[in-house]
Amino acid sequence: MTIQLICLDADDTLWHNMRHFNATEDALLDMLRPFADADVTRERLITCETRNLPLYGYGAKGFTLSMIETAVELAGQALSAGMIEQILAAGRALLAHPVELFDGVEETLRALADIAPLVLVTKGDLLHQESKLAASGLGDLFSGIEIVSDKRADTFRSLFARHDVAARAAVMAGDSMRSDILPALEAGAWAAFIPQEGAWAHEVARAPSDHARFVQLERLGDLPGWIATLD
């Protein structure tokens, strides 16, 4: 099977992302320590994020709103204007953090582009994702950019149709089992899982067992070699 389209996730596949969210979350845990243990705050934040996803979507802005809501729930009337400003400042810093590419990403993307056209498939806030892509310097390597509200099987089916490629001739690679791997497989594509430390609990899912179109790789740099075995 000749691969005709290579789809790639952005956050925590091409550049670091969750390390910044986790650092911001740790700051919130410290701020709310007078009102709740860290485990309680973390659990409440996850619950709040999950509840708010249909309203705010993915990204730093929705995360910031969920942090404020968590603080209100745990601190109540003791939550001061100064604490809210601290949370907002943490959210602004999250939106402004520098883009840190994983080692060898540009070289790997150039090798992949020699195999087939590349499409970036990422979810989150449109402005933030566009700014990160611009700061990465990788934009010219992609034939298409897809910033979506969520990744489902239908998302990939529509993407393949727009690029006039059969699903069996497409590969999706990313760090999220829930968002990158399972929906791409359901849509009929090949999928390469490249896990990273500190993954968001919401993105964790059980890996498919003995699936012919699935592979787990240690790093993005292994992707060109695996694709070569599919021909």
Structural domains of the chain, ranges and CATH numbers in brackets: 5-15+100-229 (3.40.50.1000), 18-96 (1.10.150.240)
197: CB partners within 8 A, 6+ apart: none
What average pLDDT does the chain have?
94
Range 89-104 average pLDDT: 94
pTM: 0.90
Residue 151 has pLDDT above 70, yes or no: yes
**Amino acid identity at 166:** A
Strand partners, 193: 174, 216
**The 144-148 sheet, strands edge to edge:** 144-148, 118-123, 5-8, 170-174, 190-193, 214-216
pLDDT band at residue 139, thresholds of 50, 70 and 90? very high
Higher pLDDT, 199 or 140: 140
Tokens of 219: 């790093």
pLDDT at 1: 66
Range 69-89 average pLDDT: 96
